[in-house]
Amino acid sequence: MSYAGDITPGQAWELLRDNPDAVLVDVRTEAEWRFVGVPDTTSIDRPTALIEWVDFHGAPNAEFIGQLQQVLADRGGDSDAPVIFLCRSGQRSIGAATAATGAGYAPAYNVLEGFEGPLDGDGHRGAAGWRALGLPWRQS
């Protein structure tokens, strides 16, 4: 079963802002959250859910769907609430959106470009993605 589709970081922010049931799930690793930063959705009174899709070494999170179910239940959401998945550059979050859709959570979206965006010609990230667009974020 395919996920609902890819959306830009700006579209993700608009969906979160305009739909009080929408949830943003950052599926990067704990190291990325700590050292790179996380989307800050507190201004719209919805904290970003942090659930690793894979760990730092690349091992899949076998508890991913269970953790997602718990986050959504804690927020009073149902399986019809939009769930938006974000990773570093929009690749890992495709797998998370697909898995969520397969578990009955739809619509599930992938954020193109992710938090940091793709590598530029110099091998650096930061010219695209959530953070580069100036959307709310914070570092720990």
In a domain, 83, yes or no: yes
Give the domain range for residue 15: 5-134
- H helices of the chain, in order, are 9-18, 30-35, 64-74, 92-102
Q: Helix axis angle, 92-102 relative to 64-74, nearest 10°?
A: 70
Q: Global pTM? A: 0.95
Q: Where are the beta strands (DSSP E) in the chain?
A: 5-7, 23-26, 38-39, 49-50, 83-86, 108-111, 137-138
Question: Cα separation of 12 and 29, whole Å?
Answer: 20
| Spatial separation of the C-alpha atoms in residues 137 and 99, rounded to whole Å | 26
Identify whether 52 is part of a domain.
Answer: yes
Please indicate, yes or no, if residue 85 is contained in any of the structural domains: yes
pLDDT per residue as tens digits for the range 86-132: 999 999 999 999 999 999 999 999 999 999 999 888 898 888 999 99
Report helix, strand or coil for 39: strand
Tell whether 140 is covered by a domain.
no
Residue 64 lies in a domain: yes
User: Domain count of the chain?
Assistant: 1
112 domain-assigned: yes
| Residue 139 counted as domain residue | no
47-101 confidence digits (pLDDT tens): 999 999 998 899 999 999 999 999 999 988 767 899 999 999 999 999 999 999 9
Question: What CATH number is given to the structural domain containing 67?
Answer: 3.40.250.10
